[in-house]
Amino acid sequence: MYPDSIKNLAETIARLPSIGKRQALRLIFYLIRNQDVRRQLIQQLNELEKKIKICERCFLPFEGPGQLCHICSNPSRIQNIIAIVEKEIDVFSIEQTNSFKGTYHILSHLIDPSDINSYNTLRLDQLEKRVRRLPQQIADEIIIAISPTTEGDLTAMYLERKLKNLAKKISRIGRGIPTGGEIEFADAETLKNALSNRR
């Protein structure tokens, strides 16, 4: 019913996370009506294709020379402190705080308990190889910086067990009341964690 070029493109766009078939069609008709946005999108996707590389060490996308991102290749970053995060965006969020001087490992996804394959695609082999290449062949600290959701907690437990020989210390980011949040509205679990996490 739709012309082929619209139908095929709609199927691809509907494969993207949290975009359905109907929204895909709406996006396409918007692009058809707006030539400038459409051409800019094509041009910028080509730029992305041409320039973006994935860091061999931490899997962060980056631009520029070499095989390592600007964090892994920065001599002032501490290579034997590694923060494990779920996804790329989390690295940029943590970097914005300017309070972490270690390096990262991006899992790319959390464990989905209904998908046994999701245990094997967290790039932990690469993490182990990387740690074994450190001067001491062990990390000082692995910080599990994963959201405290159900799947996040499951993933964290799995990682703690799996990685225990890779680091002198394995920690998790602190749980508590978010800055600006009110104790009155915190759920019991958050409050419990905030109390035991006191300093």
Contact set with a copy of itself (CB under 8 A): 1-6, 8-9, 12-13, 15-19, 23, 25-33, 37-42, 44-52, 54, 61-64, 87-89, 92, 95-96, 108
What is the closest distance, in whole angstroms, from the C-beta atom of residue 6 to a copy of itself in the complex?
Answer: 7
Q: Which is nearer to a copy of itself, 8 or 120 (CB)?
A: 8
* Coil vs helix vs strand at 87: coil
Give which of 73, 172, 82 is closest to 127, Cα–Cα.
82
- Minimum Å gap between C-beta 52 and a copy of itself is 6
Q: Is the distance from CB of 28 to CB of 7 less than 8 angstroms?
A: no
Which amino acid appears at position 101 of this protein? K
Nearer to a copy of itself, 40 or 67 (CB): 40
Q: How far is the CB of 86 from a copy of itself (least distance, A)?
A: 11
Beta-carbon contacts of 165 under 8 Å, excluding residues fewer than 6 positions away, are: 138
Closer to a copy of itself by Cβ: residue 13 or 156: 13
Residue 115 or 189 with smaller CB distance to a copy of itself: 115
Are 60 and 69 a contacting pair, CB within 8 Å? Answer: yes
What are the residues facing 54 on neighbouring strands? Answer: 61
